[in-house]
Amino acid sequence: MNYILCDNYHGNTVARKSKNPFILSMTKNYAPFYQILNEMGHKICDYNEKINNKSLENCSIFIIIKPELSFSFLEKKYLINYIKRGGSLLIIIDHVTKKVMENNNDLLCQFGIKISGDRIAGVESPELIYCEEDFNSSHPIISGNYESERVKKFHTFVGTSIGFTFKILNNVKYTNILKIPSKSFIGNFIREKGKKLKITKKEYNSYKYLSQGMAIEYYLGKIFIISEAGCFSTQDHKSLQVDLNKNINNKQLLINLINWLS
């Protein structure tokens, strides 16, 4: 039986341990994410131990959401071999502390990519709206299988950016699915105790080639990394349209994404 495994071992902040490995007990914010996968016919299981070859044998997609702890040498080796053989990996990351970023990049650099410590936000609000000019519209994650499945907009909420390590890898193809919109900025957000939030912005030309959603074909397998976690949760704030329960385009992108990884 093939199933989707959801990592719950590396300090993930969105899952709670379940006594039954075939009952995924997610926090409220990510319940719709897993409900959609269930409705698509996927069996989803909590995974509460170190990654090993045996656990990956019948795994169709391995999902890692907001990891905080590091991955061991053997865990990285098993994941790489799993993907090389045709497995799929979905990594969802958010803006993180320096230490967590280092732990995340220790895994991501195996695939020639990394996340930055900067945050991305819209010019007028924290929300980012990706439109057709910001998509790689020919990719199945955006186009779907039919015109009715095409994603026309995609909403995210802050997050960080994905760039390259410039490490030369063979048998790897990168597709920038979510190009950083021109109506956004990347900057350092620093809040000192007792002082107002200090934001240092960077020029758009310094980050226009970066990504917030990257698809990777790695040997026989597939990887998708998105560097913003709110877009697949119920996170909502005032007039923002990020909530997965309300945003049909975000839901459609998730469906297309899982179909592509499958």
Rounded distance between C-alpha atoms, residue 66 and residue 7, angstroms? 10
Extents of the domains making up the chain: 3-261
Lowest average pLDDT, out of 38-52, 196-210, 245-259, goes to 196-210
Angle, CA 37 vertex, CA 2 and CA 81 arms, to 5°: 45
| Encoded amino acid at 74, one letter | L
Q: Please give the share of the chain, as a percent, with pLDDT higher than 90.
A: 47
User: Please, which pLDDT band fits residue 167 given cuts at 50, 70 and 90?
Assistant: confident
Domain 3-261 in CATH 3.40.50.880? The answer is: yes
Given a cut of 60, whether residue 164 has pLDDT beyond it is yes
Residue 23: predicted pLDDT: 40
239-253 pLDDT, tens per residue? 566 778 888 999 999
CB 25 within 8 A of CB 84: no
In 3D, which of 235, 175, 236, 167 has the Cα closest to residue 211? Answer: 175
Residue 150: predicted pLDDT: 96
User: Please, which pLDDT band fits residue 128 given cuts at 50, 70 and 90?
Assistant: confident
Greater confidence (122 vs 72) lies with: 72
Given a cut of 50, whether residue 1 has pLDDT beyond it is yes
Stated pTM of the model = 0.89
Q: Please give the share of the chain, as a percent, with pLDDT higher than 70.
A: 81
Mean pLDDT of 29-34: 84
143's CB contacts (< 8 A; 6+ apart) are 137, 149, 150, 256
**Residue written as token pair 């007039």:** 239
58-78 pLDDT, tens per residue? 999 999 998 999 999 999 999
Long-range contacts of 54-57 (CB under 8 A, 24+ apart): 55/5, 56/5, 56/82, 56/87
Residue 211: φ, ψ to 5°: -140, 155
| Encoded amino acid at 172, one letter | V
Residue 20: predicted pLDDT: 42
List helix spans (H) across the chain.
Answer: 31-39, 53-56, 73-84, 98-108, 140-143, 248-261
Given a cut of 80, whether residue 184 has pLDDT beyond it is no
